[in-house]
Amino acid sequence: MEHDKVEVEKLPMCDFCRIEDGVENPAQYDGRTIFGRWSSMCDKHFEKYGIGLGLGKGQKLVLAVNEDTNEYRTENKPNREVV
Ligand SMILES: [Zn+2]
Protein backbone atom coordinates (compact mmCIF):
# COMPACT_ATOMS: atom_id res chain seq x y z
CA MET A 1 0.00 0.00 0.00
CA GLU A 2 1.21 3.45 -0.88
CA HIS A 3 1.52 5.99 1.87
CA ASP A 4 2.21 9.11 -0.13
CA LYS A 5 -1.02 9.25 -2.06
CA VAL A 6 -4.66 9.06 -1.15
CA GLU A 7 -7.74 8.86 -3.32
CA VAL A 8 -10.56 11.19 -2.48
CA GLU A 9 -13.96 11.77 -3.99
CA LYS A 10 -13.72 15.49 -3.59
CA LEU A 11 -10.75 17.78 -3.01
CA PRO A 12 -10.89 19.78 0.22
CA MET A 13 -10.06 23.48 0.22
CA CYS A 14 -6.60 24.75 1.13
CA ASP A 15 -6.58 25.87 4.77
CA PHE A 16 -3.92 28.51 4.21
CA CYS A 17 -5.52 30.09 1.17
CA ARG A 18 -8.65 30.52 3.22
CA ILE A 19 -6.86 31.89 6.31
CA GLU A 20 -4.19 34.02 4.64
CA ASP A 21 -5.81 35.14 1.43
CA GLY A 22 -9.49 34.59 2.11
CA VAL A 23 -9.93 32.55 -1.04
CA GLU A 24 -11.23 29.07 -1.72
CA ASN A 25 -8.57 27.06 -3.50
CA PRO A 26 -8.68 23.26 -3.92
CA ALA A 27 -5.99 21.48 -1.88
CA GLN A 28 -3.62 19.04 -3.51
CA TYR A 29 -2.03 17.76 -0.32
CA ASP A 30 -3.04 16.68 3.14
CA GLY A 31 -0.12 16.70 5.50
CA ARG A 32 1.75 17.79 8.55
CA THR A 33 2.96 21.36 8.53
CA ILE A 34 5.96 23.10 10.03
CA PHE A 35 3.54 24.19 12.76
CA GLY A 36 3.02 20.58 13.79
CA ARG A 37 -0.62 20.25 12.87
CA TRP A 38 -2.21 18.69 9.83
CA SER A 39 -3.75 20.80 7.14
CA SER A 40 -5.12 20.64 3.65
CA MET A 41 -2.74 22.49 1.35
CA CYS A 42 -2.52 23.60 -2.25
CA ASP A 43 0.76 23.24 -4.18
CA LYS A 44 2.00 26.65 -3.17
CA HIS A 45 1.32 26.24 0.53
CA PHE A 46 2.55 22.65 0.64
CA GLU A 47 5.92 23.91 -0.58
CA LYS A 48 5.88 26.65 1.99
CA TYR A 49 4.49 24.86 5.04
CA GLY A 50 4.50 21.11 4.32
CA ILE A 51 7.26 18.88 5.64
CA GLY A 52 7.16 16.30 2.86
CA LEU A 53 5.35 13.20 1.72
CA GLY A 54 5.15 9.78 3.30
CA LEU A 55 3.84 7.98 6.34
CA GLY A 56 3.30 10.42 9.19
CA LYS A 57 4.18 13.38 6.99
CA GLY A 58 1.82 13.98 4.15
CA GLN A 59 -0.14 12.61 1.26
CA LYS A 60 -0.96 13.85 -2.18
CA LEU A 61 -4.67 13.98 -2.84
CA VAL A 62 -5.88 12.50 -6.09
CA LEU A 63 -9.42 12.28 -7.33
CA ALA A 64 -10.56 8.67 -7.55
CA VAL A 65 -10.68 7.66 -11.19
CA ASN A 66 -10.91 4.43 -13.12
CA GLU A 67 -7.41 3.83 -14.49
CA ASP A 68 -8.67 2.08 -17.62
CA THR A 69 -11.13 4.66 -18.80
CA ASN A 70 -9.72 7.62 -16.90
CA GLU A 71 -13.22 8.39 -15.74
CA TYR A 72 -14.64 8.77 -12.28
CA ARG A 73 -15.79 5.48 -10.85
CA THR A 74 -19.54 5.41 -10.80
CA GLU A 75 -19.66 4.82 -7.08
CA ASN A 76 -17.22 7.68 -6.55
CA LYS A 77 -18.70 10.42 -8.64
CA PRO A 78 -18.00 13.86 -7.29
CA ASN A 79 -21.03 15.37 -5.61
CA ARG A 80 -20.93 18.42 -7.81
CA GLU A 81 -21.46 16.34 -10.95
CA VAL A 82 -24.99 16.80 -12.19
CA VAL A 83 -26.60 13.79 -13.84
ZN1 LIG B 1 -3.08 27.46 -0.49
| pLDDT tens digit sequence for 29-67 | 999 999 999 999 999 999 999 999 999 999 999 998 766
- Residue, of 62 and 2, whose pLDDT is higher: 62
What's the gap in Å between 59 CA and the centre of ligand 1? Answer: 15
Name the residue among 22, 23, 42, 18 with its Cα closest to residue 31. Answer: 42
CA of 56 to the centre of ligand 1 (A): 21
How many angstroms does the Cα of residue 61 sit away from the middle of ligand 1?
Answer: 14
For residue 12, report the distance from its CA to the centre of ligand 1, in Å: 11
| Residue 79: pLDDT band with limits 50, 70, 90 | low
pTM for the predicted model, two decimal places: 0.74
Would you kindly state where each structural domain of the chain is located, as residue ranges? 5-72
> Alpha-carbon distance 75 to 48, whole Å?
35
What pLDDT is attached to residue 49? 98
Q: What is the mean pLDDT of residues 6-18?
A: 95
